[in-house]
């Protein structure tokens, strides 16, 4: 009894001191047995299968079949989970109120006020714009901040590490192993090779980029009058930038839209949004008179803050979408 | 309503969120010299913390427990957005700000070592965004606003894992991102279902509609599915046990400040969102009717045991502390699963305790492994107590707190959880799981304390003689003081939380 206790204490002591087997050593599988014909196999434990203890046999079986079994089980369970969730969700959707029905719970006083009084209360002809940029402008501020967060994160992860290649001013961070590992791989591969003499692409781009830019600006600026707004207009603007980058190379776009431009424009736009809407929230909540005029419905200068907010959102969306494209295909803006 | 607390306090929830957002937005424009971004972040978080403390004072002065709604803009609540603040929200935002500030100041030197200078600017942006999203999750009274800020929280949390450049952190961040996005998707589907059933996004109006549906026994199945999806989605994000596989990688491999923030705060924001949804949207009676309290209770029990069992097997000290977070999240969900006011108050107290203790443990572990020459293995830390006494004290106090030794913070919340479980039908299960989990906690924290305290002359020669910086010492002092305060004087705080839960 005393011996057993001592043995337990010894193993506990070893574990505390870090001596003895550790989990990470246990999970690394040993070399697989050489795949020789049966007659040539050396007389090791793999041949004397019947002599091995049950535990050894189990370990050996697990080494050979474990990963295979695991992936099969994993795939099977994934499919099963998906099927169950899909069935559950389909059954749920079948139970929901019928789509577009008059008496649905969603057709209540909230929607009624948006539709009936939205124009007068926000000054915007486009009720959706009035809804997202005036009634629920805080949510839209959050959405723009989501884009900003994503852009900043991607810029940090993809941009900063690869840019380190050209900069010499890096202090201890380039020395230690494991850091800047992204540089050790092959040089950043671009998704497609540019043909410098692609006359058709360049010609079409030259013709269509001004039209796309105009279209984007129209959609952004008329966001409070017609369908569209900052999100859709910004997406259109970003396609013009992406087309320009593909036709003329990223270097040409970089001349007028660099990483610095991107950060400054996104931050400034979001800052203007935060400041102007912060003023609006503050006056609204404290019942102070707001100096922002609503204008006449239908005029280009109407809808209170909606027009400038649409322009801000458009700038953020355009920069972010182009930034994602450039970062993921080139590794740099 | 704002007459009784004054206009200044009335605007604090709005001002806190906007101050943090503006500080995040302006940081990329700042020069990254002289650590200006870090100083700005710390100052801003400090200001918001002071504002939250004043709000707490204004809401609870004279033994009252007030709460008020803040109209976001010119339109009242079902049409516009709304914030809601009560004592519980105020005390949570105060704790979040304090823990965030201490996690940043305590780990200034390891942040400087781990993060390349060019990334430090963006790290500050992400920390500010995280603080803003935590505050917004705490104060919001609108389910869709909560979703938007959950998104900001998710992206920023994944990015502060990847901010330290190494293959492990990128792998951990990808894993975290995928799991977290699954959670976001589930929450989104649940919100869509709820909107279709109720026609509202404001929490009180949804609650009214849901109670109408339950009373008329219509749409019970979609309601149950929406509750299951929203709970599962937020449980993935708050690392409830079967969904916690991402946590040890993300918390164990990232830089110390990120680990502290993620473990201490980011999980808590999602847990508080669950509590708010249970309390304000569904109501505790509907939760009980749909049996979600039993599910949460059982998962909490399993998490308490399994988190500790996994922690026992770790040899890396940060991974051990990370798995211990899984067990602690289990404690919180145990309190939520009791589905009583006392249980939720105990869960909130444990949120606060864990938000103060876990950053301290990560900061201490970072200091100790720094003293041992950047080795993270548990055995490599032998004798490091005598090299960095402040970190050693932090680890010991944190370990005692997690075990539930009287006088330390963890004792207070375990005691209140125990008291809350009396009178509940599941008291035997709750008590035995609390006992088993405490013993398991001791099984891995006591060896760590013994290792750190063991003299080791040979190894000490190899240790790099990093004297802890002044900011490290001061932060650790405040952490220790908070720990003892919560352990010795928890009753006023618990009464405050109970009052907050009653007006939640």
Q: CA A65, A70, A71, A75 torsion: positive or negative? A: positive
Structure tokens at B231: 């709970």
Question: A with B: how many residue pairs have Cβ under 8 Å apart?
Answer: 203
User: Distance between CA atoms of A45 and A25, rounded to whole angstroms?
Assistant: 21
User: Distance between CA atoms of A107 and A119, rounded to whole angstroms?
Assistant: 19
Structure tokens at B311: 């922690």
Q: Is residue A74 part of a domain?
A: yes
Q: Chain A closest CA to B223's CA: distance in Å?
A: 9
Contacts of B446 by beta carbon, 8 Å cutoff, 6+ apart:
B399, B403
Q: Give the model's pLDDT for residue B310.
A: 93
Looking at residue A132, the DSSP 8-state letter turns out to be I
Q: Answer yes or no: do A259 and A145 share one domain.
A: yes
Q: Give the model's pLDDT for residue B45.
A: 95
Interface test with A, best of B8, B20, B75, B160 (most A CBs within 10 A): B75
* Contact between chains at B74 and A171 (C-beta distance less than 8 A): no
Domain boundaries, chain B: 2-502
User: Distance between CA atoms of A33 and A64, rounded to whole angstroms?
Assistant: 9
CA atoms in the 13 A half-sphere facing the CB of A220: 25
User: Distance between CA atoms of B36 and B28, rounded to whole angstroms?
Assistant: 11
Q: Chain A closest CA to B285's CA: distance in Å?
A: 22
* Contact between chains at B29 and A267 (C-beta distance less than 8 A): yes
Contact B377/A at CB under 8 A: yes
Residues 63-102 of B with CB under 8 A from A: 70-75, 78-81
Number of C-beta neighbours around residue B280 at 10 A: 17
Residues of A in contact with B314 (CB under 8 A): 23
Residues of A in contact with B116 (CB under 8 A): 160, 164, 170, 173, 179
Residues of B in contact with A22 (CB under 8 A): 315
What does the mean pLDDT of chain B come to?
A: 90
Q: Give the model's pLDDT for residue B187.
A: 96
Looking at residue A175, the DSSP 8-state letter turns out to be T
Q: Chain A closest CA to B11's CA: distance in Å?
A: 8
* Contact between chains at B125 and A91 (C-beta distance less than 8 A): no
What confidence tens digit (pLDDT) does each residue in B369-393 have? 888 877 778 888 888 888 888 999 9
Contact B151/A at CB under 8 A: yes
User: Distance between CA atoms of A184 and A175, rounded to whole angstroms?
Assistant: 13
Residues B236-242 have a mean pLDDT of 91
Q: Is residue A140 part of a domain?
A: yes
Q: Give the model's pLDDT for residue A318.
A: 94
Q: Give the model's pLDDT for residue B461.
A: 63
Structure tokens at A7: 């043995």
Looking at residue B71, the DSSP 8-state letter turns out to be E
* Contact between chains at B158 and A109 (C-beta distance less than 8 A): no
* Contact between chains at B222 and A95 (C-beta distance less than 8 A): yes
Residues of B in contact with A163 (CB under 8 A): 118
Helix, strand, coil percentages (3-state) for chain A, rounded to 5, are 65, 0, 35
What confidence tens digit (pLDDT) does each residue in A98-123 have? 888 888 888 888 888 988 888 888 88
What residue numbers bound the domain in which A238 lies?
125-164+198-330
Interface test with B, best of A116, A137, A145 (most B CBs within 10 A): A145
Q: Give the model's pLDDT for residue A186.
A: 45
Q: Give the model's pLDDT for residue A304.
A: 82
Residues of A in contact with B68 (CB under 8 A): none
Q: Chain A closest CA to B301's CA: distance in Å?
A: 24
Integer CA distances (angstroms), A159 to A81, A165, A321, A332, B121, in order: 37, 11, 15, 5, 13
Residues of A in contact with B242 (CB under 8 A): none
Contact B423/A at CB under 8 A: no
Q: Give the model's pLDDT for residue A298.
A: 78
Q: Is residue A186 part of a domain?
A: no
Tally of domains in chain A: 2
* Contact between chains at A97 and B197 (C-beta distance less than 8 A): yes
In the predicted model, is pLDDT for residue B499 greater than 60? yes
Residues of A in contact with B28 (CB under 8 A): 152, 263, 266-267
Phi-psi region of B113 (alpha: psi -120 to 50; beta: other; left: phi over 0): alpha
On whether the CB atoms of residues A142 and B152 are closer than 8 A, the answer is yes
Q: Give the model's pLDDT for residue A31.
A: 62
Q: Give the model's pLDDT for residue B462.
A: 60
Q: Give the model's pLDDT for residue A300.
A: 81
Three-state secondary-structure class, residue B490: helix
Q: Is residue A103 part of a domain?
A: no
Nearest to B236 by CA among B346, B302, B329: B329
Residues of A in contact with B127 (CB under 8 A): none
Residues 481-500 of B with CB under 8 A from A: none
Q: Answer yes or no: do A140 and A245 share one domain.
A: yes
* Contact between chains at B167 and A282 (C-beta distance less than 8 A): no
| 10-residue stretch averages of pLDDT, chain A, 333 residues long | 82 74 55 59 53 75 84 93 94 89 85 87 87 90 93 83 44 38 46 66 92 95 89 94 88 85 92 92 87 80 87 93 88 70
Q: Answer yes or no: do A140 and A57 share one domain.
A: no
User: Distance between CA atoms of A60 and A78, rounded to whole angstroms?
Assistant: 27
A281: nearest CB among B73, B167, B314: B73
Q: Chain B closest CA to A301's CA: distance in Å?
A: 20
Q: Chain B closest CA to A298's CA: distance in Å?
A: 21
User: Distance between CA atoms of B39 and B41, rounded to whole angstroms?
Assistant: 5
Integer CA distances (angstroms), B238 to A156, A235, B269, in order: 25, 34, 8
Interface test with A, best of B141, B158, B165, B214 (most A CBs within 10 A): B165
Q: Is residue A245 part of a domain?
A: yes
3-state SS track over B247-280: HHHHHHHCCHHHHHHHHHHHHHHHHHHHHHHHHH
Nearest CA in chain A to B136: A142
Q: Chain B closest CA to A217's CA: distance in Å?
A: 25
Rg (C-alpha) for chain B, rounded Å, is: 22
Contact B167/A at CB under 8 A: yes
B80: nearest CB among A136, A164, A181: A136
The angle formed by the CA atoms of residues A281, A286 and A288, to the nearest 5 degrees, is: 90
Rg (C-alpha) for chain A, rounded Å, is: 32
Looking at residue A31, the DSSP 8-state letter turns out to be P
Three-state secondary-structure class, residue B202: strand
Residues of B in contact with A107 (CB under 8 A): 199
Q: Chain A closest CA to B224's CA: distance in Å?
A: 9
A208-212 contacts, C-beta under 8 A, 24 or more apart: A208/A243, A209/A240, A209/A243, A209/A244, A212/A236, A212/A237, A212/A239, A212/A240, A212/A243
Q: What is the pTM of this model?
A: 0.87
Interface test with B, best of A15, A112, A119, A138 (most B CBs within 10 A): A138
* Contact between chains at A160 and B377 (C-beta distance less than 8 A): no
Higher pLDDT, B201 or A12: B201
User: Distance between CA atoms of B110 and B126, rounded to whole angstroms?
Assistant: 17
* Separation of CA A243 from chain center: 22
Q: Give the model's pLDDT for residue A183.
A: 44
Q: Answer yes or no: do A206 and A324 share one domain.
A: yes
A105: nearest CB among B126, B197, B313: B197
Three-state secondary-structure class, residue B85: strand
Q: Answer yes or no: do A76 and A132 share one domain.
A: no
Q: Give the model's pLDDT for residue A320.
A: 93
Contact B217/A at CB under 8 A: no
Q: Chain B closest CA to A211's CA: distance in Å?
A: 32
Contact B397/A at CB under 8 A: no
A156: nearest CB among B119, B196, B378: B119
Beta-strand runs (E) in chain A: none
Q: Answer yes or no: do A14 and A131 share one domain.
A: no
* Contact between chains at A18 and B379 (C-beta distance less than 8 A): yes
Q: Answer yes or no: do A250 and A135 share one domain.
A: yes
Q: Give the model's pLDDT for residue A193.
A: 58
Q: Chain B closest CA to A134's CA: distance in Å?
A: 8
Residues of A in contact with B155 (CB under 8 A): 146, 149-150, 153
Query: For chain B, what percent of residues have pLDDT higher than 70?
Result: 97
Contact B309/A at CB under 8 A: no
Interface test with A, best of B9, B79, B184, B254 (most A CBs within 10 A): B79
On whether the CB atoms of residues A316 and A234 are closer than 8 A, the answer is yes
On whether the CB atoms of residues B86 and B139 are closer than 8 A, the answer is no
* Contact between chains at A271 and B26 (C-beta distance less than 8 A): yes
């Amino acid at each position: 009894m005393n011996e057993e206790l001592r043995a337990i204490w010894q193993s506990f002591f070893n574990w505390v001191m870090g001596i003895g087997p550790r989990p990470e050593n246990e999970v690394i599988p040993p070399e697989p047995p050489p795949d020789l014909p049966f007659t040539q196999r050396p007389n090791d434990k793999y041949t004397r299968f019947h002599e091995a203890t049950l535990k050894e046999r189990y370990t050996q079986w697990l080494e050979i079949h474990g990963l295979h079994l695991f992936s099969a089980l994993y795939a099977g369970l994934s499919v099963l989970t998906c099927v169950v969730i899909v069935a559950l969700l389909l059954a749920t959707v079948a139970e929901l109120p019928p789509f577009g029905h008059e008496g649905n719970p969603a057709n209540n006083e909230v929607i009624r006020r948006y539709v009936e009084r939205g124009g007068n209360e926000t000054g915007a002809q486009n009720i959706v714009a009035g809804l997202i940029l005036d009634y629920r402008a805080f949510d839209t501020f959050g959405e723009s901040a989501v884009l900003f967060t994503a852009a900043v994160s991607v810029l940090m992860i993809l941009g900063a590490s690869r840019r380190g290649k050209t900069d010499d001013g890096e202090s201890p961070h380039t020395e230690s192993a494991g850091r800047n590992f992204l540089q050790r791989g092959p040089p950043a591969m671009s998704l497609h090779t540019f043909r410098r003499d692609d006359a058709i692409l360049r010609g079409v781009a030259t013709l269509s980029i001004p039209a796309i830019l105009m279209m984007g600006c129209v959609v952004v600026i008329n966001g409070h009058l017609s369908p569209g707004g900052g999100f859709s207009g910004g997406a259109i603007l970003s396609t013009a930038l992406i087309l320009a980058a593909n036709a003329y190379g990223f270097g040409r776009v970089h001349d007028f839209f660099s990483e610095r431009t991107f950060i400054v424009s996104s931050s400034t736009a979001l800052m203007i949004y935060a400041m102007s809407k912060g003023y609006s929230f503050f006056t609204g909540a404290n019942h102070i008179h707001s100096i922002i005029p609503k204008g006449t419905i239908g005029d280009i200068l109407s809808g209170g803050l909606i027009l400038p907010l649409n322009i801000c959102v458009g700038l953020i969306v355009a920069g972010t979408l182009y930034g994602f494209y450039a970062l993921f295909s080139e590794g740099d803006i | 309503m704002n007459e009784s607390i004054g206009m200044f306090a009335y605007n604090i929830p709005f001002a806190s969120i906007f101050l943090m957002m503006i500080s995040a937005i302006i940081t990329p424009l700042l020069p990254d010299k002289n650590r200006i971004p870090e100083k700005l972040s710390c100052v801003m978080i400090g200001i918001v913390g002071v504002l939250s403390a004043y709000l707490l004072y204004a809401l609870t002065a004279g033994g009252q427990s007030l709460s008020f709604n803040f109209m976001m803009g010119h339109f009242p609540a079902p049409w516009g957005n709304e914030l809601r603040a009560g004592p519980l929200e105020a005390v949570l935002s105060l704790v979040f700000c304090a823990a965030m500030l201490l996690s940043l100041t305590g780990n200034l030197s390891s942040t400087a070592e781990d993060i390349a200078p060019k990334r430090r600017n963006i790290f500050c942006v992400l920390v500010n965004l995280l603080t803003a999203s935590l505050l917004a999750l705490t104060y919001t009274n609108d389910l869709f606003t909560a979703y938007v800020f959950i998104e900001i929280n998710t992206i920023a949390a994944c990015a502060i894992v990847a901010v330290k450049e190494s293959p492990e952190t990128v792998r951990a961040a990808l894993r975290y991102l995928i799991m977290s996005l699954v959670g976001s998707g589930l929450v989104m589907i649940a919100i869509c279902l709820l909107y279709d059933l109720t026609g509202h996004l404001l929490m009180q109006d949804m609650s009214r509609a849901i109670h109408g549906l339950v009373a008329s026994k219509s749409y019970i199945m979609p309601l149950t599915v929406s509750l299951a999806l929203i709970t599962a989605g937020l449980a993935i994000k708050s690392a409830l046990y079967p969904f916690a596989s991402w946590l040890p990688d993300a918390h164990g491999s990232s830089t110390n400040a990120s680990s502290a923030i993620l473990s201490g705060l980011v999980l808590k924001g999602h847990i508080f969102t669950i509590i708010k949804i249970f309390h304000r949207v569904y109501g505790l009676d509907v939760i009980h009717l749909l049996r979600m309290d039993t599910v949460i209770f059982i998962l909490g029990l399993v998490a308490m045991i399994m988190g500790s069992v996994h922690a026992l097997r770790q040899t890396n000290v940060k991974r051990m502390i990370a798995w211990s977070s899984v067990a602690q999240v289990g404690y919180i969900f145990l309190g939520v699963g009791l589905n009583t006011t006392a249980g939720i108050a105990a869960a909130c107290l444990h949120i606060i305790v864990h938000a103060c203790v876990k950053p301290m443990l990560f900061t201490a572990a970072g200091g100790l492994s720094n003293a041992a020459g950047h080795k993270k293995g548990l055995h490599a830390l032998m004798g490091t107590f005598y090299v960095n006494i402040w970190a050693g004290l932090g680890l010991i106090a944190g370990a005692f707190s997690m075990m539930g030794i009287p006088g330390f913070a963890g004792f207070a919340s375990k005691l209140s959880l125990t008291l809350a479980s009396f009178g509940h039908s599941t008291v035997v299960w709750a008590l035995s799981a609390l006992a088993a989990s405490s013993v398991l906690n001791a099984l891995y924290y006591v060896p760590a304390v013994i290792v750190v305290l063991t003299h080791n002359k040979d190894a000490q020669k190899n240790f790099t003689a990093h004297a802890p910086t002044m900011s490290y010492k001061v932060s650790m002092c405040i952490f220790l003081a908070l720990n003892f305060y919560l352990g010795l004087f928890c009753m006023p705080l618990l009464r405050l939380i109970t009052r907050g839960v009653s007006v939640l």
